[in-house]
Structure 1
Amino acid sequence: MLLAEVVAASAQVAATRSRTAKAAAIADLLRRAGAEEVQPVTAWLSGDTGQGRLGVGWRTLAPRTGAPAAEPSLTVDAVVVALTELATTSGPGSTARRDAVLTGLFSAATEEEHRFLVALLTGELRQGALEGVVLDAVAAAADVPSGSVRRAFMLSGRLPETAATALSGGTAALDAARLQVGRPVRPMLAGPGSSLDGALADLGSDVTVEFKLDGARIQVHRDGDDVRVWTRTLREITDGVPELVTLVRSLPCRSAVLDGETLALDDDGRPRAFQDRMSRFGSDAADEGVLLSPFFFDLLHLDGRDLLDEPLRVRLDALAELLAGDAHAPLRMPGVRRPDPGQAARVLDDALAGGHEGVVVKALDAPYAAGRRGRAWQKVKPVHTLDLVVLGAEWGYGRRTGSLSNIHLGARDADGGEPVMVGKTFKGMTDELLAWQTATFPELARERPDWGVLLRPELVVEIAVDGAQRSTRYPGGVALRFARVLRYRPDKTPAEADTIDVVRALLAS
């Protein structure tokens, strides 16, 4: 298959806002792809190189302005070979070898292919092929149930592999996928609840109400003495969290897959500043000055038994048995099962009094629907918060002169387009945060106007707001009210930011 066919499909996807049309264009391409081409094609149309970090950015690619090829000749296989060489070349002389690879790749590219490759290599390929759209396309291309595709993806966490399995083995191969201890699954997510009373009315009395911590999501796998830890984005952090490894290794089991959150507590048992504990997730080195405490709220596997499809009540019973006893009881997320309204309100009050965000209300009959943000889990927080993409920042004035301070905030376009700007803020920023922004933002700049920087959409920030109001100033027709920065979210990707529809929903509240 020629790269030009992938580029043409990408252009088709970008040209329509119809989810059905996007999926149809991708499905048609996947049907035409060879067995060895399905994985890279799926990765590329999802905006991923499929090779991890390549060490290639705007500065490396900008000088490559030679004459484009007149006719398409680049194949998918040739591009895979080039990207693999970029990903694996290191050591003395690697700069020259990498430059030669890029020169060969771009000299063979047409003008359209050149633009596509630059966008792909710099993470700027946003043609609207979101994960859900690609999963629909895989199901259509392989003529298999979408539920089978989504479950296999949940268990593998790898979209290209799921596509290859669907197209080569069909429904039987997809349904044969199983949870593997040591391979992370995509986490189940909670949707926003309007209020505690609203969540209880929606889900009924057969629920559990648990603390919503101001922490970071973790998934921990144990197989014998081997313990590994991943973040919500399935990035492994085992080497940086030895205290979590030691705690899980002490549990009375041989194998387990636990879901939970972790945070650092001060001497009074209250959560430390988010940036203190998130420093532990930025590198593989442990910070002995910040100890993390885990709080587990789900159990997906125990001693050879998979629990994903069991209702939450069964999983919680197994978790309670695993964490029984004084030594392990503190590892359990605080909460109450089947509370009456008064008990549920006390759980929320206790969570807030302890410095936490709120509560999560969960249906006890729900299986573990990994990777989905549905009604079965609803988070209730008294303050509206949004995870938004940082689009740019302005140079400050007065006390903030010389600092990049006023950040531009964008909500995710659910159709895969550019983030939609919904406001600006410098509220809530400490001197330390201003210094970090001023040092970090220039490295992420795609333009540098006199007033500040425009950024590649890579950073997610959590913003507290009092609500939203209609606006003719911003393209989404809505603007945030009294937005202030709570913290940056290195544990989240822009694909996990809140959508413009979530922001618009605040108009009604």
Structure 2
Amino acid sequence: MPLARLVEAADALVATRSRTAKTDVLAGVLGDLFPDEAEAAVGLLLGRLRQGSIGLGYRTVLSAREGAPAASEPTLTVADVDAVLDTIAALGGSGSAGARNAALTALFERATAPEQEHLVRAMTGEMRTGALEGVLTDGLAKAVGLPLAEVRRAVMLSGSLPGTVRLALEHPEALTDVGLAVLTPVQPMLASTATDVAAALAVTGEASVEHKLDGARIQVHRSGSDVRVFTRSLADITARVPEIVEVALTLPAESIILDGETLMLDDSGSPRPFQDTMSRFGADAAREQVLAPRFFDVLHVDGEDLIDRPLSQRLAALERIAPAYRIAGEVTTDPAVAERVADEALAAGHEGVMVKGIDTAYAAGRRGKHWVKVKPVHTYDLVVLGVERGSGRRKGWLSNLHLGARDPEGEFGPAGGFVMVGKTFKGLTDELLRWQTETFPQHAVDDNGWVLTMRPDVVVEVAIDGVQRSSRYPGGVALRFARVKRYRVEDAPGGESALQAKAPAEADTIQSLRALLR
């Protein structure tokens, strides 16, 4: 397939918000693919390269593009691009950086200007066409003429959308044979959110209300003496977590698939900060600190698939197989009981609770109403220190915000200054993007072509799930899951009154954010 065909499709996806229209665009593209180019094409459409992370940082990619004149006519194919990325992925050792840059530059020289832009976004994960996996799955079902439910199930159980696309194009009839397989990761079931446990119970009915740990999602497979541990993104981390492998081998089952989380505990048994847990997943991480697995679901036991069984039966099986490693919780319809469980979870240092319909099946890969997450949300008034130019659907707008907290005592910089604590583009409506684009240049003190550096004049209210330690920012903390709630500025969209507006001197401090660290 010509790369230009993907570029045209991406442009069409950006141009519409209609899910039906996006589905039609993707069905047309997928239907034109050859099976052997399917996985590469899906990666280039989603901004998730088939080769994975191969050392293509933003600066590396932009530098290569800047040094390459654009081709006048499109000649590249998906296979051409994939072959270059394979070459780059194989590079290593002395001189690899130069060879990588040379290969990238040569690729960009063969691409037209629109193709260059598409490649930059694909390589840097900045595609933002609104074509996520769910829409692409819809497009695949339409392209091959199969029921959507059948295609969705194949994607979920295979754990690979690109692989499912290839299988569907080669042998569409084989999708019905895709099933749960021990040692093959399954897309995890996801949760929606609610403001409180009463609202969550109103959605789920009778539910298992369980502690929501501030850990890393894991999926543990065992077949005899063979154990595999996968992350939420289905990456195989078995070699990095020997303690979890050891636990799996002690369980009274020959074959099993468990869903849960892992976290690091301190000497008192309380959870350590999230980033301590995540540091153990690094390839070169020290093994002195032990990860503790905790499980909340079981999908398979000794040849019997439980994925379509109600949660009540799966929990009974989990209690039989791994009682010492179950996440705490209670089954109830009473909001008062659920609130007590939530209070206990927070007192134990956890994030909140998960409320799960007790009669529901495991909907792999889906974010529905059967699982509902409830956890406290913190809001802070921060200042905008800079803003990045958007890409994809946000091209032409000022989008990604650089956020700063006030440092009144000068603990991390000049007294009364501001310390950067993170970035976000979440929560920005088209109205806010338009306002930012019109307003922020008036506050700019520098512009490098990508980032507008601003005077700390604009205060924005941001919701966060918490903070984590970070060496990237001078204050030593970074925001977790930040999203914009509103601007504390009189003329901002939303009708902010003068009484509600805030001056930069009223912004929250870096010390208040650091106080969230456990």
TM-score normalised to structure 1 length: 0.79
Shift of 1:197: 2.3
Q: 1:399 aligns with which of 405, 408, 411?
A: 411
Residue in structure 2 matched with residue 263 of structure 1 by the alignment: 263
* 1:1-40 matched pairs, under 5 angstroms: 1-40=1-40
Cα contact 2:67–2:105 (8 A) shared by 1: no
Which residue of 1 is the match for residue 480 of structure 2? Answer: 461
> Aligned equivalents of 1:124 and 1:401: distance in 2?
32
Cα separation, 2, equivalents of 1:75 and 1:346: 59
Q: Give SS of 1:436's match.
A: coil
Where 1:77 maps in the other structure, the secondary structure is helix
- Report SS of the residue matched to 2:260: strand
When residues 341 and 413 of structure 1 are mapped into structure 2, their CA distance, relative to the original with a 3 A threshold, is: closer
2:176 and 2:26 mapped to 1: Cα distance? Answer: 23
Change in 2 beyond 3 A, CA 1:473/1:407: farther
Aligned counterpart, 2:188: 187
Could you list the per-position Cα deviations for residues 295-331 of structure 1 after superposition, in whole angstroms to 9, with x for gaps in the alignment? 21100111121111111111111111112xxxxx331
Q: Distance in 2 between matches of 1:420 and 1:312?
A: 47
Alignment partner, residue 451 of structure 2: none
Aligned to 2:204: 203
Partner of residue 374 from structure 1, selected from 363, 368, 373: 368
CA distance in structure 2 between the partners assigned to 1:372 and 1:211 by the alignment: 21
Matching residue within 105, 108, 111 for 1:109: 111
Would the alpha carbon gap of residues 321 and 66 (structure 1) be closer, same or farther in structure 2, given more than 3 Å must change? closer
Give a deviation string over 1:186-238, Cα, whole Å, max 9, x none: 11112112322232233223x22222222222111112222222221222322
One-letter amino acid of the structure 1 residue matched with residue 480 of structure 2: V
Does residue 410 (structure 1) correspond to residue 409 (structure 2)? The answer is no
Structure 2: which 5+ residue stretches go unaligned?
381-398, 437-458
CA offsets 1:78-114 (integer angstroms, 9 cap, x no match):
1111111111122455445434432432222112212
| 2:328 counterpart (334, 337, 343) | 334
Aligned equivalents of 1:201, 1:291: Cα separation in 2: 39
- Describe the SS at the equivalent of 2:411: helix
Select the residue among 353, 373, 385 that pairs with 1:359: 353
Q: Deviation per CA, 1:246-292, whole angstroms, max 9, x where unpaired?
A: 1111111111111112222233332222232222133353431x222
How far residue 22 of structure 1 moved from its aligned partner, in angstroms, is: 1.8
Provide the C-alpha distance between the structure 1 equivalents of 2:216 and 2:435, rounded to a whole number of angstroms.
26
> Which residue is 1:436 aligned to?
472
SS at match of 2:35: coil
| SS of match in other structure, 1:208 | strand
* Aligned pairs for 1:191-270 within 5 A: 191-205=192-206, 207-270=207-270
The CA distance in 1 between the partners of 2:434 and 2:361, in whole Å, is 33
Query: CA shift at 1:384, angstroms?
Result: 5.6
- Contact 2:69/2:108, CA 8 A, preserved across alignment: no
Query: For the structure 1 residues 241 and 69, does the alpha-carbon distance in structure 2 shift closer, same or farther, using more than 3 Å as the test?
Result: same
Instruction: Output the amino acid matched with 1:399.
Output: E
Structure 1 residues 98 and 267: alpha-carbon distance in aligned structure 2, compared to 1, 3 A threshold: closer
Q: Partners of 1:179 and 1:382 in 2: how far apart?
A: 35
SS state at 1:37 partner: helix
Contact 1:239 1:285 in 2 (8 A): no
CA displacement at 1:385 relative to structure 2: 8.2
Instruction: Tell me what 2:293 maps to.
Output: 294
Q: Secondary structure at the match of 2:23?
A: helix
Any idea what SS the aligned residue of 2:280 has? helix
Quote how far apart the aligned CAs of 1:158 are: 1.6
Separation in 2 of the partners of 1:38 and 1:420? 40
How far did residue 363 of structure 1 move?
A: 1.1
Q: Percent identity?
A: 44
TM-score w.r.t. structure 2 length?
A: 0.77
Decide whether aligned partners of structure 1 residues 153 and 424 sit closer, same or farther in structure 2, where only a CA change above 3 A counts: same
Cα deviation code 1:457-493 (max 9, x no counterpart): xx9724599x8689776679999999875899xxxxx
CA distance in 2, matches of 1:404, 1:378: 35
- What SS is found at the alignment partner of 1:293? strand
* Aligned residue in 2 for 1:275: 275
Please tell me the root mean square deviation across aligned C-alpha atoms, in Å. 3.8
For structure 1, list consecutive stretches of 5 or more residues without a partner in the other structure. 324-328, 442-458, 489-509
Whole-angstrom CA distance in 2 between matches of 1:93 and 1:117: 24
For 2:175 and 2:379, locate their aligned partners in 1 and report how far apart those are by CA, in whole Å. 37
Residue equivalent to 2:390? none
When residues 298 and 157 of structure 1 are mapped into structure 2, their CA distance, relative to the original with a 3 A threshold, is: same
Give aligned pairs, total.
Answer: 458
Q: Name the aligned partner's letter for residue 412 of structure 2.
A: R
Residue from 66, 69, 81 that aligns with 2:83 = 81
Alignment correspondent of 2:44: 44
Distance 1:366 1:414 in 2: 34
Which of residues 137, 142, 145 is equivalent to 1:143? 145
Indicate conservation of the 8 Å contact 1:407/1:426, yes or no: no
When residues 212 and 470 of structure 1 are mapped into structure 2, their CA distance, relative to the original with a 3 A threshold, is same
* Secondary structure of residue in 1 paired with 2:227: strand
CA distance change for structure 1 residues 412 and 393 in 2, over 3 Å: closer, same or farther? closer
1:344 Cα deviation after fit: 3.3
